[in-house]
Structure 1
Amino acid sequence: MNRIRTIFVDGYNVINQWDELKKLKDENLEDARDKLVEMLQEYAAYKGCSIFVVFDAHLVPGSIEKNEKSGKINIVFTKEGETADCFIERSIYQYLKSGAVAVVTSDYLEQRITLQMGGIRITPNEFLHELKAVENVITEKSKISYSQRKNTLEEFINKDILEKLERMRRNL
């Protein structure tokens, strides 16, 4: 199977499936959206893939499609009358040409359509597990690189002072 190059995330579907985001949504929907995007940033950077987080705005009268970019994350608010599912379905073919495409949703019909179009379906819980695994790998790598690093005096002291100390050492 090709490495996944593009991931489409049904934003509100995922927010309603992940406990942390669901609780946050009950307090402030915008904070929940921001937290989701933040969680996806590290994943996208580590995996080297592009992620589209698609939010339904189809019930907002007069809304037009709005696209924002934050690192490797594309944030899409659909236009009036268009659901996140419709946007994702419309986009899958275009991105399949450049590599494997995955869709993160718990919507069974959307999962079936994704598979029929040649994409990969991922449930929100599977994706959360994958996100946490990547987070753990990054944490472990940073711990290892930090512990292997030697903290020498040369790294923290001015070069002139270091030279004076070296002259003093040699004169003893």
Structure 2
Amino acid sequence: MRSNVKEYLFVDGYNIINNWSNLRQLSKQSLEVSRNELIETLAEYQSFTGIKVIVVFDAHLVKGSMEKKETFKGVDVVYTKEKETADHYIERTLDAIGRTKKVRVATSDWIEQQVVMGRGGTRISARELKLEVEHYKEIIRKKNEKVNETNDLLMGRLDKKTLEKLEKLRKNK
């Protein structure tokens, strides 16, 4: 794990997918689409909060599967190896980090929450994570709204000739 990171958020991917109704519905059509939607959402969250997000998906029932790690839009995505659950991977990684970093684990698995807290981490339920993500999305929406409003005000103050020059410059890029 990177030493300059101040806070980590480990996410039990399938636990969250099964607990968020929008992702659960998507997973009925395509598990891959629901995974990608979760990762996209968490990438936006990570970008805004600065919290390092690691999403862990169980592959413990997949015969012969090897642990696989990839990074998508800055989010670390881990597929566990055969016979290893997301919970076990998170616990093992939490032990490796030790108590020197702030670590939260997103899962609604009560037993896993207890293990995480016993190892120095904190837990956040799927529902609490959903509320937190929605809160930050609303902040981002309002911020973008304000920027667009400011841009509209500025553009409204420019004369037609200046607007045409700006449009010509924009097209030539």
TM-score range for the pair, normalised by the shorter chain length: 0.7 to 0.9
* Deviation readout 1:22-60 (Å, 9 max, x if unpaired): 011111111110110011111000001111110000111
Q: Which residue is 2:94 aligned to?
A: 92
What is the deviation of 1:98? 5.1
Where 1:157 maps in the other structure, the secondary structure is helix
Mapped to 2, the partners of 1:139 and 1:25 lie a distance apart of 26
* Deviation readout 1:92-149 (Å, 9 max, x if unpaired): 1333455210000011110001111111100000000000000000000111122123
- Aligned amino acid, residue 165 of structure 2: N
Mapped to 1, the partners of 2:101 and 2:162 lie a distance apart of 44
Q: State which of 58, 79, 90 in structure 2 corresponds to 1:77.
A: 79
Q: Which residue is 1:32 aligned to?
A: 34
Mapped to 2, the partners of 1:50 and 1:155 lie a distance apart of 44
Q: Which residue is 1:14 aligned to?
A: 16
Q: Which residue is 2:58 aligned to?
A: 56
Identity %: 37
| Superposition CA RMSD, Å | 1.9
Mapped to 1, the partners of 2:145 and 2:101 lie a distance apart of 33
What TM-score comes out, normalization by structure 1 length?
0.86
What TM-score comes out, normalization by structure 2 length?
0.85
Q: Which residue is 1:119 aligned to?
A: 121
Query: Do the aligned residues in 1 keep the contact of 2:99 with 2:120 (CA within 8 Å)?
Result: no
Q: What is the number of residues matched between the two proteins?
A: 158
Where 2:10 maps in the other structure, the secondary structure is strand
Alpha carbons of 1:79 and 1:144: their partners in 2 closer, same or farther (altered >3 Å)?
A: same
- Aligned amino acid, residue 137 of structure 1: I
- Aligned amino acid, residue 140 of structure 2: I
Residue segments in structure 2 that go unaligned for 5+ positions in a row = 169-173
The structure 1 segments of at least 4 consecutive aligned residues displaced by more than 6 Å after TM superposition are none
Alignment of 1:137-148 (within 5 A): 137-148=139-150
Greater Rg by CA:
1
Mapped to 2, the partners of 1:87 and 1:41 lie a distance apart of 21
Residue segments in structure 1 that go unaligned for 5+ positions in a row = 162-172
